[in-house]
Amino acid sequence: MKKATVTPTTNPLGGSLKAARDKSLSHRAAMIGALSQGRTEISGFSFCQDCLSTLNCLRAMGISFSLSPEEEKVIIESSGSLHEPENVIDAGNSGTTIRLLSGIAAGIEGLTVLTGDESLRNRPMRRIIEPLRLTGASIGSRAKDRFPPIFILGKNQLDSFSYQLKVASAQVKSSLIFAALRGNGPSFIEEPFPSRDHTENMLRYLGVEITKSKGRLKVTPPRELRARDFNLPGDISSAAFLLAAAILVEGSRVVVEDVGLNPTRCGFLEALREMGAKVTVGKVREDFGELRGEVEASYSKLRGIELGPDKIPAIIDEIPILSLLATQAEGKTTIWGAEELRVKESDRLRAIACGFSQLGAQVEEKKDGLIIQGGSPLKGGRVKSFNDHRIAMSLVIAGLISQKEVTVEGVDCIEISYPQFFDHLQQFGCPTIKVDFEK
């Protein structure tokens, strides 16, 4: 296992760089390319570990790829049909892989069994199992349908269905949309609050009829899916760490270029503005229904805010780094209705409260959220990543503004979503981070 030792910096961060490519969109582009007939060229594919897990699973289901990591390119030639894998397939650490592929597997004749690493094997699966059963596929998982491994005995043609999600989850919604593509008629999906809509945008771009009325999606199965190329933007969830670093380190100003700005993912930018951060967006354009542009952030004085359940889906992955900003804001930040954070790569409410408190911040863990009293200087110390990439990166950024050194144990997991993280910090002029093997 590797650790990162971060020395506090007085050097302002500065410069401009192209954001790491979007993980959420990369998973979907690979899956949609596999499901469509013909050649799909994906530019701007994220070669992070989670997306490699998706490629490995699709390969086991009969899809071949030509990969060019240096050019961030993936080319898929597919007949549009996947086949039963010969063995159990491994989604690694990736919730998106296991849940979305389960929806796809429901529409494949034969047995698919998916598993993952220790963290993934403890993440809830009933949320997809219950609705996917409505399609007529047989599906179940370990511990009375709670956890992976998960099996799916699929069929070529599924029943159409109507389902109201209990939690706002793009992973569950997308899994159901993929199953709905193989339905014998239109299916209907409703969620309590809007979650990210990448799957909808990408499938519409391929001509699939997906409409939304009064919060309810209607997915009409297409007669065929013809392949189209995708050029993917950068990942706001990764860029968030760089923007936060600039906001926290005095005198900084950075620009992160070509970041995805889909409104269902931009809760972090909205929260920053509400906290009084200097953040601006420019060069906005649209591609396959997805907005993208550059984001500039500068050192700012912040104030505490309140984030409730309606705001959580659009900022779900940025709560760890937002919590760090809240520790330095004036006043209190209250986050509630966020129990979903307990079932991410780690129990993130616990990990945030534990990690930042150990560094000297005032963070109180609640059943469904956090109360953060801003304005306490971070002292420094030795903390654990909980093997969670977003916790690890948030703690590293905390080290930049602590009074003494911060050591973060278990930073290997950063490869899950953002392999360029340390390089990007260095490009912005942060030479104070040492990464080495733990003794």
Rounded CA-CA distance 86/78 in Å is 19
In the complex with ligand S3P, which residue's Cβ is closer, 23 or 182? 23
Q: Which stretch binds ligand S3P (CB under 6 A): 157-165, 167-175, 394-402, 403-411?
A: 167-175
Rank residues 82 and 314 by Cβ distance to ligand S3P and give the closer one: 314
Per CB under 6 A, 195 contacts ligand S3P: yes
Question: Where does 328-379 have alpha helices with state H?
Answer: 348-358
C-beta of 343: minimal distance to ligand S3P in Å?
Answer: 9
The reply to whether 170 sits near ligand S3P by the rule CB under 6 A is yes
Query: What character string, x for contact with ligand S3P (CB under 6 A) and - otherwise, covers 137-156?
Result: --------------------
Q: Is 423 a catalytic residue?
A: no
Is residue 78 at the binding interface for ligand S3P, with CB under 6 A as the rule? Answer: no
3-class SS of residue 209: strand
Site for ligand S3P in 14-33 (CB under 6 A): 24
User: Residue 301 and residue 310: Cα distance in Å, rounded?
Assistant: 26
Q: Give yes or no for residue 171 binding ligand S3P (CB under 6 A).
A: yes
Cβ atoms within 10 Å, residue 212? 13
What b-and-e string marks burial along 287-301, b requiring 16 or more CB atoms within 10 Å of the CB? ebebbbbbbbbbbbe
Q: HSE of 138 in the Cβ direction (CA atoms, 13 Å)?
A: 5
Shortest spacing between CB 96 and ligand S3P, in angstroms: 4
User: Least CB distance from residue 301 to ligand S3P, whole Å?
Assistant: 30
Contact between 112 and ligand S3P by CB under 6 A: the answer reads: no
> If binding is defined by CB under 6 A, does position 340 make contact with ligand S3P?
yes
CB of 169 to ligand S3P, least distance (A): 3
Distance (Å) of CA 81 to CA 66, 88, 170: 18, 19, 24
Question: Using CA atoms, how far apart are residues 399 and 394, in angstroms rounded to an integer?
Answer: 9
329 in Cβ contact with 375 (< 8 Å)? yes
**Contact in structure between 289 and 205 (CB atoms under 8 Å):** yes
Give the residue carrying structure tokens 């849940």: 99
Q: With binding defined as CB under 6 A, does residue 346 bind ligand S3P?
A: no
Catalytic member of 317, 347, 368, 412 = 317
Minimal distance, residue 82 CB to ligand S3P, in Å: 19
147 C-beta neighbours (distance < 10 Å), count: 18
For β-strands 64-68 and 290-298, DSSP reports them as unpaired
Candidates 78-86, 131-139, 169-177, 180-188; binding stretch for ligand S3P (CB under 6 A): 169-177
Beta bridge partners of 189: 163, 217
Nearest to 61 by CA among 24, 99, 114: 114
Stretch that binds ligand S3P, among 165-173, 292-300, 392-400, 401-409 (CB under 6 A): 165-173
Number of residues in contact with ligand S3P under rule CB under 6 A: 11
**Binding site residues, ligand S3P, CB under 6 A:** 24, 96, 169-171, 174, 195-196, 316-317, 340
Residues annotated catalytic, as ranges: 317
